[in-house]
Amino acid sequence: MTRIFLIGFMGAGKTTLGKALSKELGLTFVDLDWYTEERYHQTINELFTGRGEADYRKLERQMLHEVAEFEDVIISVGGGTPCFFDNLEYMNNQGDTVFLQVNPAVLFKRLRVARRQRPLLCNQSDEEMKEYIGSTLELRKDYYSGAKFVFEANRLEDYSQIKEAVGRLKALLKL
C-alpha cells in the first residue's frame, strides 16, 4: 500500500508534482485544500478568514485525518499543515512524507502570480510578500525538515521539467 504526503511552502509545487506523480504511478491524487473546499462548500480563503486561523487549523487537522486513511494515494497538504499540532508526526506514521524544497526567490516568482486565492498572501505587496516568505520559511523549516525525504523542486515550470522531476521523485522513493 502506498501513501505519500507532499509537504512544503505555498508555491513549492505540491499540487503540480502530486498530480503528475499520481498519474505516472496510477494512484489517486488528493489535494487537502481541494478536499476541504468540497466538504465545506467554501473556499480556503472563506474558511480561513471566516473562522480565523486558530479554528481553521483545527478543521485542517480533521480533514487531514480523513484523507490520511485513504490507500494507494498521493496527498498534497497545505503549506502550514505540518507546522501545527502533531500533524507532521501523524503523517510520518501514516506513510511517507516528502518535503519539496524550493529557494525563496523561486517561491516569490511563483506566488507573485498566484497569491489571490491564498489568505496569508492576498493582501500583501511584493515587498511584504518577499519578507513574509523569508521569515515564514525560517519559522517552518524545522517542521519541514522532519519529513522522511527531501526533494529539490526549483524547476517545475514546464512539461519537460515536471517530467524530469517525477523521474527523480520516483527514484528517491524507490517506486
Going by C-alpha positions, the residue among 5, 47, 7 that lies closest to residue 153 is: 7
- 102: number of Cβ within 10 Å: 24
What is the C-alpha radius of gyration for the chain, rounded to an integer number of angstroms?
Answer: 15
33 part of the interface to ligand S3P, by CB under 6 A? yes
Cell of 47: 474558511
- Interface with ligand S3P: number of residues (CB under 6 A): 11
Give me the least distance between CB of 137 and ligand S3P, in Å please: 10
Q: Where does this chain touch ligand S3P (CB under 6 A) — which range of 65-73, 77-85, 90-98, 148-156?
A: 77-85
Task: Report d(CA 151, CA 131) in Å as an integer.
Answer: 24
Closest CB to ligand S3P among residues 33, 96: 33
Q: SS3 helix, strand, coil % of the chain, rounded to 5?
A: 55, 15, 30
Q: Which is nearer to ligand S3P, 49 or 167 (CB)?
A: 49
Which position among 3, 4, 5, 10 is part of the footprint of ligand S3P (CB under 6 A)? 10
Give the residue with the Cβ less far from ligand S3P, 55 or 167.
55
Distance CA 113, CA 169 (A): 26
Position 120 contacts ligand S3P (CB under 6 A): yes
The footprint of ligand S3P (CB under 6 A) covers 10, 14, 33, 44, 48, 78-80, 118-120
